[in-house]
């Protein structure tokens, strides 16, 4: 299956089950793989709005913002992710998010 058909397939899965965070995250990662940073950020924002406890989305949103040179937006995602990781007690995600923020001088 080519990249576009896989992307279209995942879009269809999201359309069928928009509240499924795992499927929406798959769509975000397809956009990231295609270097479609604006679409990735838009979907990650939607995922965070629907499921603020889906902590990996903050890290990926920050990465996508960095790819676009939007470092302030990346810092905001990392900070929000740090707060979510603390709430969830996810020390691994917390350390990754903190490291990403530190690299940006955050």
pLDDT by residue (tens digit) across 27-71?
Answer: 999 999 999 999 999 999 999 999 999 999 999 999 999 999 999
- Which domain, by its residues, includes 94? 3-103
pTM to 2 decimal places: 0.91
Q: What gap in Å lies between CA 21 and CA 103, rounded to an integer?
A: 28
Look at residue 4 and tell me whether its pLDDT is greater than 70: no
- Whole-number Å distance between alpha carbons of 36 and 78: 20
What whole-number distance in Å separates Cα of residue 14 and Cα of residue 21?
Answer: 9
Distance CA 36, CA 22 (A): 19
List the Cα angle 96/100/106 in 5-degree steps.
130
The number of distinct structural domains making up the chain is: 1
Asked whether the beta carbons of 28 and 57 are under 8 A apart, the reply is yes
Tell me the CATH number at 14: 1.25.40.10
Residue with tokens 């406890």: 53
């Amino acid at each position: 299956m080519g990249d576009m058909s896989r992307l279209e397939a995942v879009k269809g899965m999201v359309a069928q089950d928009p509240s499924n965070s795992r499927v929406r995250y798959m769509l975000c990662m397809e956009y990231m793989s295609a270097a479609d940073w604006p679409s990735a950020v838009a979907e990650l924002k939607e995922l965070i709005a629907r499921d603020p406890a889906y902590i990996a989305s903050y890290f990926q949103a920050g990465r996508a913002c960095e790819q676009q040179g939007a470092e302030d937006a990346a810092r905001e995602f990392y900070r929000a992710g740090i707060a979510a990781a603390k709430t969830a007690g996810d020390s691994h995600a917390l350390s990754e998010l903190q490291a990403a923020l530190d690299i940006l001088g955050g």
